[in-house]
Amino acid sequence: MLAERTLPSPARVAHARRLAQPLDDRLRLPLSTYLLVFAALAGGTLLTWWVSTIDLGAWNTPIALLIATIKAVLVILFFMHVIHSTRLTWVVVVGAFLWLGVLFVLTFADYLTRGWTLY
């Protein structure tokens, strides 16, 4: 026997209507948002350059990676429109960043535990 079909809830209907809208209507952000993100990215680039001119010893690379991660998050959220995406997209993006973190930890752990010899 076929199971009885129930009507979708109003929340599901509203969500389906929102997804049925043209993509441009859902992702329209004010120009000022894009200009602020651009200014933050340019500022991050200048900050990366400035930090590279200072001798911080072993902290130069982690600080540069932190600045690069912040800039990547800005690009992903605003220019790739993930900030307005579904939960599944967020899960994929967060999973990708966690996997990247695992790869960084394993790479740096390997690098730091090697017995380096001077030639």
> What tokens does 64 get?
């540069």
Is the pLDDT assigned to residue 61 strictly greater than 60?
yes
CA dihedral in degrees (12, 15, 17, 21; nearest 10)? -160
Instruction: Answer whether 82's CB lies under 8 Å from 90's CB.
Output: yes
Residue 16 lies in a domain: no
80 or 20, higher pLDDT: 80
The number of domains in the chain is: 2
Q: For 97-119, what is the mean pLDDT?
A: 87
pTM for the model stands at 0.67
Instruction: Answer whether 75's CB lies under 8 Å from 41's CB.
Output: yes
Q: Where in the sequence is the domain holding 76, given as residue range(s)? A: 30-80
97, 73: one domain: no
69 or 29, higher pLDDT: 69
Weakest mean pLDDT among 44-48, 64-68, 92-96, 115-119: 115-119
Residue 95 lies in a domain: yes
